[in-house]
Amino acid sequence: MANEPREQWGTRLGFVLAAAGSAVGLGNIWRFPYVTGVEGGAAFLIIYIVCIVFIGYPMMVTEISMGRNTLRNPVGAFKALAPNTPWWLIGGLGVLTGFVILSYYSVIAGWSLSYIFKAAAGFPEGIDAADAMFGEHITGLGGPIGYHFVFMVLTAGIIAAGVVKGIQRVVKILMPLLAILLLLVVFRAVTLPGAGEGLAFMFAPDFSAVTPQTFLAAIGQAFFTLSLGMGAIITYGSYLSKKDEVPNSAVQIIGADTAIAVLAGIAIFPAVFALGFEPGAGPGLVFVTLPAVFAEMPAGTLFGFLFFVLLSIAALTSAISLLEVVVAYFVDEKGWPRKQAALVLGAVIFVVGIPPILGYSVWAEAGTFAGDLLDTYDFIADSVMLPFGGALTAFFAGHVWGIKNVSDEANEGAGNLRIGNWIAPFLKYVIPAGVLIVMLFGIYGVVTG
Ligand code: PFF
């Protein structure tokens, strides 16, 4: 079974949609608007876009190239590029990171699934009622575990079906659907009376709101939202043909991800301002503030329903890329059949996701300096494993595999847009050093609380 021929995306569009599907997720629609709200709106947006261009683009090109060059999962890719060295451990860290992120990502995605039904039934009016509804949902057992289970079954089912028949088939339907739903919700938001204030918040920069923390938030968000630093893009790149363009694909994936994040902001802030709510509500923005907004807005039941359908779709196309990293490792390196890997690993990840759910009820006293159990999982994955993996990957590409090899691979099959030498200082110095510094500050900040 281990010798099944490696699959390839049917078309370059298939690859771009799958990678954009990986990138566009809870990070864009749940996380990006609330971080923008907390970190001061447009000023954050500008810093974030600089990070996307100078960190996101070189890393995206590098990871796609590593995958396409080696035709391997992250561990196999590092082994192939630096045989008989310990560098493969970076790939191992990536596989582990995918495992950890998916376990709690699926829990949050489960909340989103349950909100589809809550929205259809009509959200209660007032922020206190919305807050109580959210509290009641997450402190339950059957509900959150059930939806987490359903979401993992969907994810594992798609991965079991394969790269082309599973992932590619699903993203070709879901990604256009997601764009249409988002545009509908945006249209509703910007046509509310008083929406202009929300748009001003997003697009008129107030630099007095910028602190060192703003830069940390922007870099972390750039890695998370583009699925970089843990081998998801290496894995997806390993199914890309040599004939396909890498630099151009990277621009399209990043462009789609950024457009969706900005559109999500445009869908959320005008509505929040128009109805007199607070933009800086934090992680509860989507699950508490928005339901209260939908409860008051004309046709809010319909738009609330559409919003949580689109949030769940975005989460699903990201979750499959997280599971694919783990599955590709067991298929390539351990010779497991794909179906068995998807089901066994999906089941294990489901179980690992249960403690964060219990952390809101029977294990309420469990927690760490990073917060409750879900916060702790998120902190370990997002603030430690992801930046560490990203910095090491950049260092590896810049100093071990080498800039020439990165650009030769990236430029093979490329059209007009080719990768230039400007990426060299970023891969060699700026990203490894900058991201490590950010990570250390971030950890220090949380530990000293
Ligand atoms: N990019 C996803 C999001 O923004 O929600 C999260 C993610 C998916 C991170 C896949 C990492 C990954 F490999």
3-state secondary structure the chain: CCCCCCCCCCCHHHHHHHHHHHHCCHHHHHHHHHHHHHCCCHHHHHHHHHHHHHHHHHHHHHHHHHHHHHCCCHHHHHHHHCCCCCCHHHHHHHHHHHHHHHHHHHHHHHHHHHHHHHHHHCCCCCHHHHHHHHHHHHCCCHHHHHHHHHHHHHHHHHHHHCHHHHHHHHHHHHHHHHHHHHHHHHHHHHCCCCCHHHHHHHHCCCHHHCCHHHHHHHHHHHHHHCCCCCCHHHHHHCCCCCCCCHHHHHHHHHHHHHHHHHHHHHHHHHHHHHCCCCCCCCCHHHHHHHHHHHHHCCCHHHHHHHHHHHHHHHHHHHHHHHHHHHHHHHHHHHCCCHHHHHHHHHHHHHHHCHHHHHCCCCCCCCCECCECHHHHHHHHHHHHHHHHHHHHHHHHHHHHHHHHHHHHHHHCCCCCCCCCCCHHHHHHHHHHHHHHHHHHHHHHHHHHC
Looking at the CA of residue 225, tell me the nearest atom of ligand 1: 4
Whether ligand 1 lies within 6 angstroms of the CB of 318 is answered as: yes
| Residue 281 · residue 288 · CB < 8 Å | yes
User: pTM of this prediction?
Assistant: 0.94
Q: Give the position, in ligand 1's atom list, of the atom nearest the Cα of 30.
A: 5
In the numeric block, the tokens 């199914």 are attached to 239
Give pLDDT tens digits for 415-442: 889 998 999 999 999 999 998 988 888 7
232 Cβ below 6 A of ligand 1: yes
Per-residue pLDDT, 306: 94
- pLDDT for res 3: 55
227 lines ligand 1 (CB under 6 A): yes
Q: What pLDDT was estimated at residue 210?
A: 82
With a 6 Å cutoff on the Cβ, whether 383 touches ligand 1 is no
Distance (Å) from CA 25 to ligand 1 centroid:
6
**CB-ligand 1 contact for 22 (6 Å cutoff):** yes
Q: Which atom of ligand 1 is nearest to the CA of 314?
A: 5
Per-residue pLDDT tens over the stretch 187-242: 988 898 888 988 888 888 878 878 777 887 888 889 999 999 999 999 999 999 99
Give me ligand 1 centre to Cα 225, in Å: 5
Whether the CB of 77 sits within 6 Å of ligand 1: no
Is any atom of ligand 1 closer than 6 Å to the C-beta of 28? yes
- Select from 101, 329, 386 the residue to mutate for testing ligand 1; criterion: most ligand atoms less than 8 Å from CB: 101
Q: Does the Cβ of 254 fall within 6 Å of ligand 1?
A: no
Q: By alpha-carbon position, which residue is closest to atom 12 of ligand 1?
A: 227
How many angstroms does the Cα of residue 252 sit away from the middle of ligand 1?
Answer: 16
Q: Is 95 touching ligand 1 by the criterion CB < 6 Å?
A: no
- Give the distance (Å) from ligand 1 centre to CA of residue 378: 12
Ligand 1 contact via 23 beta carbon (within 6 Å): yes
Tell the residue number behind the tokens 């690992």, with chain if given.
352
What is the whole-number distance in angstroms between the Cα of residue 74 and the centre of ligand 1?
16
Please list the pLDDT of the chain residue by residue as tens digits (449 residues): 445 678 999 999 999 999 999 999 999 998 898 888 888 888 899 999 999 999 999 999 999 999 999 999 999 999 999 999 999 999 999 999 999 999 999 999 999 999 999 999 999 999 899 999 999 999 999 999 999 999 999 999 999 999 999 999 999 999 999 999 999 999 988 898 888 988 888 888 878 878 777 887 888 889 999 999 999 999 999 999 999 999 999 999 999 999 999 999 998 988 888 888 888 777 778 999 899 989 988 999 999 999 999 999 999 999 999 999 999 999 999 999 999 999 999 999 999 999 999 999 889 888 787 788 998 998 888 888 998 999 999 999 999 999 999 999 999 998 889 998 999 999 999 999 998 988 888 788 778 87
Which ligand 1 atom is nearest residue 386's CA? 11
C-alpha pair distances (Å), 227 with each of 221, 253, 339, 356, 448: 10, 11, 24, 22, 28
The CA distances from residue 384 to 36, 104, 130, in Å, are 21, 15, 32
